[in-house]
Structure 1
């Protein structure tokens, strides 16, 4: 085994030099495979595709034949870096400056992968890697449409007979410092488009047209002005956010035939997708009731629900949460907050197969120019992962 695998900074540098902007792999998964094979992992690189989407390479690596099965999940794809001029260091050069390593994906989330590889390598080098099964489930399609990535990789693993007892997802979860936060769940998410119908016409002859913009303010207020809820025990309040309003009309002397309102909802466990859809429709129909005498409310609007829907979930207390919390506290001296805040992640797919939690680096610079991570944080996260591996497998015996 190469001693460089013991160094998370070296592992990360190798991954950062791969410009794996979704959907390009740019050698990232091959680089990871080269790290895992010397550690005894059997590696598969399945490619998934679907009509209208690019083919995506993925990685499933498994070590061990029997016993408790722990999965580490993540992604090697990254968002575009933007103009090089916005970076003080090249985004794919893995430059170290003032104790930090720069690069797109440093914290989201090649750094987490690099640290978990180093943790496994350190335990292996000491002959202390626990008995059982250990997997890496890594996609190249998390930052993109997420169609040919984790959801299909999980199905592939299940069809091959692999069952995971628990999963750690290495997304950056800490707001300010390592030890701040473990994500034990996520709010749900879905999107929709409500189109207000009217009749096109000349602005000088409004009596011959029907301007849907006159009803726009009523619907916007109905959707947004009254909170959906006040939050629940584990989750912050649900929120509906209008993201764009569009008539498709570029002329100033034409009354538009319709106006489309696009929105996204992040919802907690007070709702299901079905009850939330019903609430949205109730608000729209209440707002439109009586505004157009002689016309059926159903004729005044059309609703389109966008797929996919991400369900709300929370991982119940148990060895996964407790052993990770204990490991974080043992290394950092801080008991992490158990949180369900933030956006969505691939945990929304993994939770259908096994309990899942998320813990990784500090995310302050993710998706920003000059994304970077402190070398000291890489060492600390590696120590946390190493401690967690030992504790989790011990708790299964």
Structure 2
């Protein structure tokens, strides 16, 4: 078995369901320490974060990943046990095989190889890992970024190993992400008997026109980097379960995914103006889980494009679509951020898998990105 397959399988065997790390970071820290990396554990509550660095000064290239995975779901629905890696028909199966233990393993091997080839490189090559990417993302990279800001830790380039590719390795890279704004709305009414509506106030009826307006609003037109903002209701709850009671309140959860054509403050103001126009008795709690970011053409995108062209034989499509990633916490530190990883067709699914051929290519791809970045700066 190849070194990349061996390490990926070892990580998959560790059932690190968020926020558990299950020893993944200790295994990686031991490997990186063995080639001269300085190891720092930044643990907050149940969350494990690993910051491993080699070198000093600048520039600083950080490989970013996570060791936690989503729950496997019913094990009976898996063709083979989710935490027992199995190769079938050229695919490696197991929870986290694509998202993102293959990427983590490949980044570890690339860093080991880089410092062996360039033991006296200028600047810093680093790895940042968390066990809180698939969870609330509070004590993971978000918290680490706050610490980095406090200590003025520089990051110039951040390569995220999330599974970005669509059909084959390298066909798509993420050069930014939309922001994510959640709203948790409570509309108050007056509970009563359905036969006596004059003695009650139905919050479902009063809120429905406002929700219809919000759902039909064109929030912006997007721009060159991002599609138009989307609004989606994700949960609605009201009533006691009885069919003869007008409910006393309505709870609605919704989400905005937005680019730089709108701001979180602007979206909040427009929503609350709508609720007030409809004279609702309401309260609302907002949760901004990430601002949008976009990495323009520059050193990192150029190095990634050239490495993909060299290793995969194509020019990747640059995209800002999809969900969010921990890159959203690193970009505000001033870093260029690009996501490059294996295909994402099976992430979070039963029988998650990654192509063995893609896996074998990943360490060399990441290594070439690093070498191109430092060679462009005259490093050796």
Q: How would you bin the TM-score normalised by the shorter chain?
A: over 0.9
Comparing 226-235 and 105-114, the one that deviates more? 226-235
Task: Say which SS state the counterpart of residue 185 (structure 2) adopts.
Answer: strand
Residues 192 and 73 (structure 1 numbering): CA distance in 2 closer, same or farther, change over 3 Å? same
Residue 391 of structure 1, CA deviation: 0.3
CA contact (8 A) 1:11 1:118 kept: no
3-state DSSP of counterpart to 1:108: helix
Counterpart of 1:340 (choices 289, 309, 320) is: 320
The Cα shift of 1:318 comes to 0.8
Q: Find the residue that maps to 1:168 and give its secondary structure.
A: strand
| SS at structure 2 position matched to 1:369 | coil
- Shifted more, 120-129 versus 33-42: the winner is 120-129
Instruction: Tell me which residue corresponds to 1:8.
Output: 4
Secondary structure of 1:362 counterpart: coil
**Shift in Å at residue 321 of structure 1?**
1.0
Q: Tell me the residue number matched to 1:170.
A: 161
Check whether the contact 2:56–2:122 (CA below 8 A) recurs between aligned residues. no
Alignment partner for residue 41 of structure 1, among 34, 37, 42? 37
Q: Which residue of 2 aligns with 1:292?
A: none
List alignment gaps of at least 5 residues for structure 2. Answer: none
Q: Equivalent residue for 2:147?
A: 156
For the residues of structure 2 that align with 1:246 and 1:161, how far apart are their CA atoms?
45
Question: What's the TM-score, normalizing by structure 2?
Answer: 0.94
Tell me by how many angstroms 1:126 deviates.
4.7
Aligned length: 377
In structure 2, how many angstroms separate the alpha carbons of the residues matched to 1:159 and 1:216?
44
**CA distance in structure 1 between the aligned counterparts of 2:58 and 2:269, rounded to whole angstroms:** 46
Give the direction of change, closer, same or farther, for the CA distance of 1:127–1:277 in structure 2 (3 Å limit): closer
Q: Could you tell me which residue of structure 1 aligns to residue 282 of structure 2?
A: 302
Tell me, yes or no, if structure 1 residue 251 matches structure 2 residue 232: no
Residue matched to 2:222: 231
Q: Deviations over 1:229-279 (max 9, x none)?
A: 332211112111011111142221111122122111111211111111122
1:317 aligned counterpart, secondary structure: coil
Classify the secondary structure of the residue corresponding to 1:44. Answer: strand
Shift of residue 194, structure 1, vs aligned partner: 2.7
What is the rounded CA distance, in whole Å, between the counterparts of 1:251 and 1:47 in structure 2? 47
Matched, 1:325 2:305: yes
* Within-5 A mapping of 1:29-178: 29-49=25-45, 55-126=46-117, 130-159=121-150, 162-178=153-169
Offset of 1:129 from its aligned partner?
8.1
Q: What is the RMSD computed on CA atoms of the aligned residues? A: 1.9
Q: Displacement, 1:74?
A: 0.8
TM-score (ref. length: structure 1): 0.90
Aligned counterparts of 2:109 and 2:92: Cα–Cα separation in 1: 16
Quickly say closer, same or farther: Cα 1:309–1:142, change in 2 above 3 A: closer
1:28-69 deviation line (CA, Å, top 9, x unaligned): 1111112212221111222112xxxxx211111111123421
CA spacing shift, 1:309–1:122, aligned 2, 3 Å? closer
Q: Which residue of 2 aligns with 1:311?
A: 291
Q: Is the 1:63–1:135 contact (alpha carbons within 8 Å) kept by the matching residues of 2? A: yes
- Structure 1 runs of 4+ aligned residues shifted over 6 Å read none
1:390 paired with 2:334, answer no
Report deviation, 1:160: 5.2
Is the deviation greater in 228-237 or in 386-395?
Answer: 228-237
Answer yes or no: is the 8 Å Cα contact 1:192–1:304 preserved in 2: yes
**Inter-CA distance 66–194: structure 2 relative to 1 (3 Å threshold):** closer
Structure 1 portions without partners, runs of 5+: 50-54, 289-296
State the shift of 1:208 in Å. Answer: 1.2
